Amino acid sequence: MAGRTDSRPTMDDIAAAAGVSQMTVSRVMRGTGQTSQEVRQRVESAARKLGYVPNRLATALRDETAPLIAVVLPTLGNRVFSEVLNGVHATLAGTGLQPVFGVTEYSVDQEETLVRDLLSWRPRGIILPGLEHSDATRAAIRASGVRVAEVMDIDGEPISVAFGLSQSAAGRATARHMLSKGYRRFGYIGSQGGLDLRAVKRFDGFRATIREAGAQIVAERVLPGASSMTDGRRETAAMLSAQDPPDAIYYSNDDLAAGGIMHCLAEGIAIPAQVALAGFNGLAFLEALPVRLTTIETPRLQMGVQAALHLIGQDKDDADTSAPRIVDLGFRLIDGDTC
Amino acid sequence: MAGRTDSRPTMDDIAAAAGVSQMTVSRVMRGTGQTSQEVRQRVESAARKLGYVPNRLATALRDETAPLIAVVLPTLGNRVFSEVLNGVHATLAGTGLQPVFGVTEYSVDQEETLVRDLLSWRPRGIILPGLEHSDATRAAIRASGVRVAEVMDIDGEPISVAFGLSQSAAGRATARHMLSKGYRRFGYIGSQGGLDLRAVKRFDGFRATIREAGAQIVAERVLPGASSMTDGRRETAAMLSAQDPPDAIYYSNDDLAAGGIMHCLAEGIAIPAQVALAGFNGLAFLEALPVRLTTIETPRLQMGVQAALHLIGQDKDDADTSAPRIVDLGFRLIDGDTC
DNA sequence: TTGAAAGCGCTAACAA
DNA sequence: TTGTTAGCGCTTTCAA
- Evaluate if the CB of B51 falls below 7 Å from strand D: no
- The CATH number of residue A110's host domain is 3.40.50.2300
The distance of A294 to chain B (nearest Cα, Å) reads 17
Residue A3 domain flag: no
Average pLDDT estimate for B305-334: 83
Average pLDDT estimate for A134-143: 93
Q: Is B296 helix (H, G, I), strand (E, B) or coil?
A: strand
Judging contacts by C-beta atoms under 8 Å, the chain A residues touching residue B99 are 100-101
Q: Are residues A171 and A284 in the same domain?
A: yes
**Among all strands, which nt has the closest C1' to A5 (CA)?**
C8
Is the predicted pLDDT of residue B143 greater than 80, yes or no? yes
Q: Are residues B199 and B234 in the same domain?
A: yes
Residue B274 domain flag: yes
The pLDDT mean for chain A works out to: 94
Q: For an interface test with A, which of B10, B109, B110, B121 has the most A Cβ atoms less than 10 Å from its Cβ?
A: B121
C-alpha–C-alpha distance, residues A169 and A147, integer Å:
28
Is the predicted pLDDT of residue B36 greater than 60, yes or no? yes
pLDDT of B313: 85
Q: Are residues A209 and A255 in the same domain?
A: yes
Q: Are residues B135 and B175 in the same domain?
A: no
| β-bridge pairing B295-297 and B332-334 | antiparallel
Q: Are residues A103 and A211 in the same domain?
A: no
Q: Are residues B153 and B171 in the same domain?
A: no
Is the predicted pLDDT of residue A7 greater than 50, yes or no? yes
Which residues in chain B, range 56-75, keep a C-beta under 7 Å from any nucleic strand D atom?
Answer: 58-59, 61-63
- Evaluate if the CB of A39 falls below 7 Å from strand D: yes
Q: How far is CA B194 from CA A71, A314, B157, in A?
A: 32, 41, 20
CB contact under 8 A, A61 and B61: yes
pLDDT of A4: 38
pLDDT of A323: 84
Give residues with Cβ within 8 angstroms of A146, minimum separation 6: A70, A119, A123, A124, A125, A126
Q: How far is CA A219 from CA A198, A236, A240, A251, A293, in A?
A: 20, 11, 10, 12, 21
Chain A, chain B: beta-carbon pairs less than 8 Å apart: 139
How much is the pTM? Answer: 0.93
pLDDT of B323: 83
Q: Check if the beta carbon of residue A141 is closer than 8 Å to that of residue A84.
A: no
Percent residues over pLDDT 70 in chain B: 95
Average pLDDT estimate for B253-279: 97
Is the predicted pLDDT of residue A88 greater than 60, yes or no? yes
Q: Are residues A125 and A239 in the same domain?
A: no
Q: Are residues A171 and A262 in the same domain?
A: yes
B144-183 tens-digit pLDDT: 999 999 999 999 999 999 999 999 999 999 999 999 999 9
Kindly give the residue spans of alpha helices, DSSP state H, lying in B182-228. 197-212
pLDDT of A317: 47
Q: Check if the beta carbon of residue A91 is closer than 8 Å to that of residue A85.
A: no
Tell me how many domains chain A contains: 3
- The CATH number of residue B46's host domain is 1.10.260.40
Q: Is A35 on the interface with B (CB under 8 A)?
A: no
Give residues with Cβ within 8 angstroms of B108, minimum separation 6: B132, B133, B134, B137
C-alpha–C-alpha distance, residues A103 and A114, integer Å:
8
pLDDT of B8: 87
Is the predicted pLDDT of residue B309 greater than 80, yes or no? yes
Q: Are residues B206 and B157 in the same domain?
A: no
CA-only gyration radius of chain B, Å: 26
Residue A198 domain flag: yes
Q: Are residues B122 and B76 in the same domain?
A: yes
Partners of A248 in the β-ladder:
A186, A276
Q: Are residues B157 and B178 in the same domain?
A: no
User: Which segment, A93-107, B198-212, B317-331, is predicted with the most confidence on average?
Assistant: B198-212
pLDDT of B314: 57
Which nucleotides of chain C does any protein CB come within 7 A of?
1-5, 7-13
In which band, very low, low, confident or very high, does the pLDDT at B60 lie, cut at 50, 70 and 90?
very high
How crowded is the C-beta side of A183, counted as CA atoms within 13 Å?
A: 30
Residue B204 domain flag: yes
C-alpha–C-alpha distance, residues A204 and B273, integer Å:
48
Among protein residues, the one whose C-alpha sits closest to the C1' atom of C6 is B62
A158-194 tens-digit pLDDT: 999 999 999 999 999 999 999 999 999 999 999 999 9
Q: How far is the CA of B27 from the C1' of C4 (A)?
A: 15
pLDDT of A321: 57
C-alpha–C-alpha distance, residues B171 and B189, integer Å:
13
Q: Check if the beta carbon of residue A219 is closer than 8 Å to that of residue A248.
A: no
Average pLDDT estimate for A320-328: 82
Domain with A205 in it: 167-297
Residue A60 domain flag: no
A256-288 tens-digit pLDDT: 999 999 999 999 999 999 999 999 999 999 999
Residue B338 domain flag: no
Partners of A325 in the β-ladder:
A161
Residue B71 domain flag: yes
A228 DSSP assignment? -
A190-218 tens-digit pLDDT: 999 999 999 999 999 999 999 999 999 99
Q: Which of B76-90, B282-296, B319-333 has the lowest mean pLDDT?
A: B319-333
Average pLDDT estimate for A54-76: 96
Percent residues over pLDDT 90 in chain A: 91
Residue B242 domain flag: yes
Q: Are residues B284 and B229 in the same domain?
A: yes
Q: Is B173 helix (H, G, I), strand (E, B) or coil?
A: helix
